């Protein structure tokens, strides 16, 4: 009986993961001076990417993704289409309300829309949660750790070559999402790699086709009035 109890405790101990250790600067002055990596949108943007989907490391298909994201309201609209032009998925999220306008198989599963919107927010918006720790990893990379309301942890990391990573962990420290932003030219969202660790692991490799800031209607009206004067 004691043997079984010991075995259960051992399994439980090993199943609890720990978050990577962050070395915080000792002095408060140094801590304040440390700037958090922020590869996030500063204004409303429309981005179009090609998305290669992979499962078990194998390329499964290539689709086109359109994202309209506004960091000021944290609202997101998105669409997925085939190269042939067929819309497979279309949804929007505003004030926390998710509306799916179109979802064809295999994009019609119960959690797909929510997970997709969450992934988009993770890539493009600064974390909503509270900044818990900032410092460095042992390899020298700068990291800021946020705690989300649902118990998840988000690390935003900039390594010495200025490559940026965003990692989402569950409350028990299990890595759920890993995002790499590789700025090869111009735009920080030029190339995005997303690794999802779910029941079936998957990865997305996104390459930017076009990106354009979206002016609000109010700003557009003002600027057109000014140009008329």
Partner 1 sequence: MKTYRNLFNFVCIAVAVLFVLNPPVHAGMNAFEKLRKESANIKTLQANFVQKKSMKILSRPLVSDGRFYYIAPDSFRWEYVKPVKSVVIAHKNSTKRYVYSDGKMVEDKMGGAQAMKIVLNEIAGWINGRFDQNPSFTATIRGGTNTMITLTPVGQSMAGMIEKIEIVLSREAATVKSVKIIEDANSFTQINFQNVEINKSINLSVFQDVK
* Shortest Å, Cβ 55 to partner 1: 9
Q: Does 214 bind partner 1 (CB under 8 A)?
A: yes
Binds partner 1 (CB under 8 A): choice among 19, 34, 36, 66: 66
Buried b (16+ CB within 10 A) or exposed e, 14-33: eeeeebbebeeeeeeeeeee
Q: Does 186 bind partner 1 (CB under 8 A)?
A: no
The answer to whether residues 154 and 166 touch, using CB atoms and an 8 Å cutoff, is: yes
d(CA 191, CA 181): 6
Binds partner 1 (CB under 8 A): choice among 61, 171, 221, 223: 61
Tokens of 137: 């990893």
Nearest to 44 by CA among 220, 170, 190: 220
* Shortest Å, Cβ 74 to partner 1: 17
Q: Does 219 bind partner 1 (CB under 8 A)?
A: no
* Shortest Å, Cβ 177 to partner 1: 22
CB closer to partner 1 out of 158 and 192: 192
Q: Report residue 225: phi and psi, to 5°.
A: -65, -45
* Shortest Å, Cβ 148 to partner 1: 27
The answer to whether residues 213 and 44 touch, using CB atoms and an 8 Å cutoff, is: yes
Coil, helix or strand for 158?
strand
Q: Does 60 bind partner 1 (CB under 8 A)?
A: yes
Q: Does 98 bind partner 1 (CB under 8 A)?
A: no
Binds partner 1 (CB under 8 A): choice among 10, 17, 59, 201: 59
Binds partner 1 (CB under 8 A): choice among 48, 100, 175, 211: 48
Buried b (16+ CB within 10 A) or exposed e, 168-199: bbeeeeebbbbbbbeeeeeebbbbbbbbbeee
**Contacting partner 1 within 122-151 (CB under 8 A):** none
Enumerate binding residues for partner 1 (CB under 8 A). Answer: 46, 48, 50, 52, 58-62, 64, 66, 68, 77-79, 81-88, 90, 102, 104-106, 209, 212, 214
């Amino acid at each position: 009986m004691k043997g079984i109890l010991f075995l259960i405790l051992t399994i439980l101990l090993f199943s609890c993961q720990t978050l990577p250790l962050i070395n915080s600067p000792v002095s408060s002055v140094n801590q304040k001076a440390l700037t958090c990596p922020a590869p996030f949108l500063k204004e409303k943007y429309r981005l179009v990417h090609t998305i290669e989907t992979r499962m078990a490391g194998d390329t499964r298909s290539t689709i086109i993704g359109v994202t309209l994201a506004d960091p000021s309201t944290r609202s997101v609209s998105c669409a997925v289409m085939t190269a042939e032009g067929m819309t497979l998925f279309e949804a929007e999220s505003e004030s926390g309300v998710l509306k799916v306008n179109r979802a064809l198989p295999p994009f019609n599963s119960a959690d797909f829309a929510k997970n997709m919107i969450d992934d988009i927010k993770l890539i493009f918006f600064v974390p909503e949660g509270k900044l818990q720790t900032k410092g460095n990893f042992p390899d020298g990379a700068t990291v800021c750790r946020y705690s989300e309301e649902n118990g998840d942890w988000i690390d935003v990391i900039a390594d010495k070559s200025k490559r940026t990573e965003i990692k989402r962990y569950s409350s028990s420290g299990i890595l759920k999402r890993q995002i790499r932003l590789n700025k090869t030219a111009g735009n920080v969202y030029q190339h995005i790699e997303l690794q999802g660790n779910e029941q079936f692991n998957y990865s997305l490799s996104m390459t930017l086709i076009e990106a354009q800031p979206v002016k609000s209607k109010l700003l557009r009206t003002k600027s057109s009035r000014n140009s008329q004067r």
